[in-house]
Structure 1
Amino acid sequence: MRTHITSAAAAVLLLAGIGAAAADTVVLQPEQETVIKEYVKKQPLASVKLPGVELNVGTAVPDTVELHEVPNVKYRYTVIDNRTVVVDPDTRKVIKIIQ
Protein backbone atom coordinates (compact mmCIF):
# COMPACT_ATOMS: atom_id res chain seq x y z
CA MET A 1 0.00 0.00 0.00
CA ARG A 2 2.83 2.40 0.85
CA THR A 3 4.30 1.89 -2.64
CA HIS A 4 1.01 2.90 -4.27
CA ILE A 5 0.80 6.07 -2.19
CA THR A 6 4.41 6.97 -3.00
CA SER A 7 3.81 6.36 -6.71
CA ALA A 8 0.64 8.43 -6.65
CA ALA A 9 2.41 11.26 -4.85
CA ALA A 10 5.25 11.18 -7.38
CA ALA A 11 2.75 11.29 -10.25
CA VAL A 12 0.95 14.28 -8.74
CA LEU A 13 4.24 16.13 -8.28
CA LEU A 14 5.28 15.32 -11.84
CA LEU A 15 1.99 16.60 -13.24
CA ALA A 16 2.23 19.73 -11.09
CA GLY A 17 5.70 20.36 -12.52
CA ILE A 18 4.40 19.96 -16.06
CA GLY A 19 1.57 22.38 -15.30
CA ALA A 20 4.00 24.92 -13.88
CA ALA A 21 6.24 24.61 -16.94
CA ALA A 22 3.26 25.10 -19.23
CA ALA A 23 2.26 28.20 -17.26
CA ASP A 24 5.74 29.65 -17.90
CA THR A 25 5.31 29.30 -21.66
CA VAL A 26 5.23 32.69 -23.37
CA VAL A 27 3.24 32.96 -26.57
CA LEU A 28 4.54 35.56 -28.99
CA GLN A 29 1.58 36.97 -30.92
CA PRO A 30 1.95 37.00 -34.73
CA GLU A 31 1.69 40.81 -34.77
CA GLN A 32 4.50 41.07 -32.22
CA GLU A 33 6.66 38.68 -34.22
CA THR A 34 6.11 40.74 -37.38
CA VAL A 35 7.04 43.98 -35.59
CA ILE A 36 10.17 42.36 -34.17
CA LYS A 37 11.26 40.88 -37.53
CA GLU A 38 10.83 44.22 -39.29
CA TYR A 39 12.70 46.09 -36.56
CA VAL A 40 15.55 43.58 -36.50
CA LYS A 41 16.06 44.00 -40.27
CA LYS A 42 16.45 47.75 -39.75
CA GLN A 43 18.63 47.43 -36.64
CA PRO A 44 21.08 44.58 -37.26
CA LEU A 45 23.37 43.57 -34.42
CA ALA A 46 26.73 41.84 -34.28
CA SER A 47 26.45 38.21 -33.27
CA VAL A 48 27.53 37.13 -29.79
CA LYS A 49 29.23 33.77 -29.26
CA LEU A 50 28.15 31.63 -26.31
CA PRO A 51 30.42 28.58 -26.32
CA GLY A 52 28.94 25.60 -24.53
CA VAL A 53 25.40 27.01 -24.49
CA GLU A 54 22.77 25.10 -26.45
CA LEU A 55 20.40 27.74 -27.77
CA ASN A 56 16.75 26.66 -27.52
CA VAL A 57 13.44 28.16 -26.51
CA GLY A 58 13.60 28.30 -22.72
CA THR A 59 17.38 28.75 -22.55
CA ALA A 60 18.34 31.52 -20.13
CA VAL A 61 20.54 34.19 -21.72
CA PRO A 62 23.46 35.17 -19.45
CA ASP A 63 23.48 38.63 -17.88
CA THR A 64 26.61 39.42 -19.90
CA VAL A 65 24.56 39.45 -23.12
CA GLU A 66 23.00 42.83 -23.87
CA LEU A 67 19.30 42.72 -24.75
CA HIS A 68 17.97 45.33 -27.15
CA GLU A 69 14.54 46.95 -27.05
CA VAL A 70 11.95 46.85 -29.80
CA PRO A 71 9.60 49.87 -29.66
CA ASN A 72 6.13 49.05 -28.35
CA VAL A 73 6.99 45.40 -27.61
CA LYS A 74 7.66 43.99 -24.15
CA TYR A 75 10.26 41.54 -25.38
CA ARG A 76 13.91 42.19 -26.24
CA TYR A 77 16.18 40.73 -28.87
CA THR A 78 19.80 39.88 -29.45
CA VAL A 79 21.83 37.84 -31.93
CA ILE A 80 23.55 34.74 -30.62
CA ASP A 81 25.59 32.46 -32.87
CA ASN A 82 24.15 34.25 -35.93
CA ARG A 83 20.57 33.57 -34.81
CA THR A 84 18.20 36.33 -33.77
CA VAL A 85 16.52 35.45 -30.51
CA VAL A 86 13.58 37.06 -28.74
CA VAL A 87 14.01 37.15 -24.97
CA ASP A 88 11.62 37.82 -22.09
CA PRO A 89 13.47 40.57 -20.17
CA ASP A 90 11.91 39.50 -16.85
CA THR A 91 13.30 35.95 -16.97
CA ARG A 92 16.00 36.40 -19.66
CA LYS A 93 14.69 33.20 -21.26
CA VAL A 94 14.54 32.74 -25.02
CA ILE A 95 10.92 32.72 -26.17
CA LYS A 96 11.49 32.60 -29.92
CA ILE A 97 14.35 31.94 -32.31
CA ILE A 98 13.96 33.81 -35.59
CA GLN A 99 15.86 32.22 -38.46
Structure 2
Amino acid sequence: MGMRLSTAAAGFLLLAGIGAAAAQDVVVIEPEQETVIREYVKKQPLASVKIPGVELNIGSALPDTVELHEVPDTKYSYVVVDNRTVVVDPGTRKIIKIIE
Protein backbone atom coordinates (compact mmCIF):
# COMPACT_ATOMS: atom_id res chain seq x y z
CA MET A 1 0.00 0.00 0.00
CA GLY A 2 2.83 2.37 0.83
CA MET A 3 4.41 1.77 -2.57
CA ARG A 4 1.18 2.60 -4.41
CA LEU A 5 0.83 5.82 -2.50
CA SER A 6 4.41 6.83 -3.31
CA THR A 7 3.92 6.08 -6.99
CA ALA A 8 0.68 8.05 -7.07
CA ALA A 9 2.33 10.94 -5.23
CA ALA A 10 5.27 10.92 -7.66
CA GLY A 11 2.89 10.95 -10.62
CA PHE A 12 0.94 13.84 -9.13
CA LEU A 13 4.12 15.84 -8.54
CA LEU A 14 5.25 15.17 -12.10
CA LEU A 15 1.92 16.42 -13.49
CA ALA A 16 2.00 19.45 -11.19
CA GLY A 17 5.47 20.30 -12.49
CA ILE A 18 4.32 20.04 -16.09
CA GLY A 19 1.36 22.29 -15.33
CA ALA A 20 3.59 24.85 -13.64
CA ALA A 21 5.98 24.86 -16.60
CA ALA A 22 3.11 25.41 -19.02
CA ALA A 23 1.71 28.21 -16.86
CA GLN A 24 5.00 30.09 -17.12
CA ASP A 25 4.40 30.61 -20.85
CA VAL A 26 1.10 32.39 -20.25
CA VAL A 27 1.22 36.14 -20.81
CA VAL A 28 -1.22 38.12 -18.71
CA ILE A 29 -2.24 41.50 -20.07
CA GLU A 30 -2.97 44.00 -17.32
CA PRO A 31 -6.56 45.32 -17.40
CA GLU A 32 -5.39 48.87 -18.20
CA GLN A 33 -3.32 47.58 -21.13
CA GLU A 34 -6.22 45.48 -22.39
CA THR A 35 -8.45 48.57 -22.39
CA VAL A 36 -5.84 50.50 -24.39
CA ILE A 37 -5.54 47.62 -26.87
CA ARG A 38 -9.30 47.19 -27.31
CA GLU A 39 -9.85 50.91 -27.88
CA TYR A 40 -6.96 51.16 -30.32
CA VAL A 41 -7.99 48.19 -32.49
CA LYS A 42 -11.55 49.57 -32.69
CA LYS A 43 -10.20 52.88 -33.98
CA GLN A 44 -7.63 51.27 -36.30
CA PRO A 45 -9.41 48.38 -38.05
CA LEU A 46 -7.33 46.19 -40.32
CA ALA A 47 -8.25 44.05 -43.28
CA SER A 48 -8.53 40.40 -42.34
CA VAL A 49 -5.84 38.03 -43.60
CA LYS A 50 -5.89 34.28 -44.10
CA ILE A 51 -3.09 32.11 -42.76
CA PRO A 52 -3.45 28.55 -44.07
CA GLY A 53 -2.34 25.88 -41.62
CA VAL A 54 -2.26 28.10 -38.53
CA GLU A 55 -4.81 27.53 -35.78
CA LEU A 56 -5.84 30.60 -33.85
CA ASN A 57 -5.10 29.50 -30.32
CA ILE A 58 -3.40 31.21 -27.41
CA GLY A 59 0.28 30.30 -27.71
CA SER A 60 0.22 29.63 -31.47
CA ALA A 61 3.02 31.43 -33.31
CA LEU A 62 2.28 33.43 -36.42
CA PRO A 63 4.64 33.04 -39.40
CA ASP A 64 7.11 35.79 -40.29
CA THR A 65 5.09 36.48 -43.44
CA VAL A 66 2.26 37.99 -41.35
CA GLU A 67 2.63 41.74 -40.84
CA LEU A 68 2.11 42.70 -37.20
CA HIS A 69 0.81 46.16 -36.29
CA GLU A 70 2.09 47.83 -33.15
CA VAL A 71 -0.33 49.03 -30.48
CA PRO A 72 1.10 52.35 -29.22
CA ASP A 73 1.80 52.68 -25.49
CA THR A 74 1.94 48.89 -25.09
CA LYS A 75 4.48 46.20 -25.83
CA TYR A 76 2.02 44.29 -28.01
CA SER A 77 1.05 44.06 -31.66
CA TYR A 78 -2.11 42.89 -33.38
CA VAL A 79 -3.41 41.53 -36.63
CA VAL A 80 -6.82 40.42 -37.89
CA VAL A 81 -6.92 36.80 -39.00
CA ASP A 82 -10.11 35.20 -40.31
CA ASN A 83 -12.05 38.22 -39.02
CA ARG A 84 -10.72 37.73 -35.49
CA THR A 85 -8.42 40.29 -33.87
CA VAL A 86 -5.43 38.63 -32.25
CA VAL A 87 -3.00 40.30 -29.88
CA VAL A 88 0.55 39.10 -30.38
CA ASP A 89 3.82 39.27 -28.46
CA PRO A 90 6.02 40.71 -31.23
CA GLY A 91 9.17 39.15 -29.75
CA THR A 92 7.89 35.58 -29.99
CA ARG A 93 5.07 36.18 -32.52
CA LYS A 94 2.83 34.09 -30.25
CA ILE A 95 -0.86 34.85 -29.86
CA ILE A 96 -1.54 36.02 -26.32
CA LYS A 97 -5.16 37.14 -26.64
CA ILE A 98 -8.03 36.77 -29.10
CA ILE A 99 -10.46 39.66 -29.03
CA GLU A 100 -13.94 38.60 -30.05
* TM-score, normalised relative to structure 1: 0.82
Q: What is the deviation of 1:33?
A: 1.1
8 A contact 2:48–2:81 mirrored in 1: yes
1:64 corresponds in structure 2 to 65
1:2-50 C-alpha deviation (Å, 9 max, x unpaired): xxx9988776554433212101110111111111111111111111101
Q: What is the deviation of 1:82?
A: 0.6
Which SS does the other structure have where 2:76 is aligned?
strand
1:55 maps onto 2:56 in alignment: yes
2:30 corresponds in structure 1 to 29
Structure 1: stretches of 5+ with no match in the other structure: none
**Which structure features the higher share of strand residues?**
1
2:87 corresponds in structure 1 to 86
| Whole-angstrom distance in 1 between the partners of 2:7 and 2:89 | 37
Q: Root-mean-square deviation (CA), in Å?
A: 2.2
1:73 corresponds in structure 2 to 74
| Whole-angstrom distance in 2 between the partners of 1:70 and 1:54 | 23
Aligned length: 99
Q: Percent identity?
A: 72
* TM-score, normalised relative to structure 2: 0.81
8 A contact 2:54–2:62 mirrored in 1: no
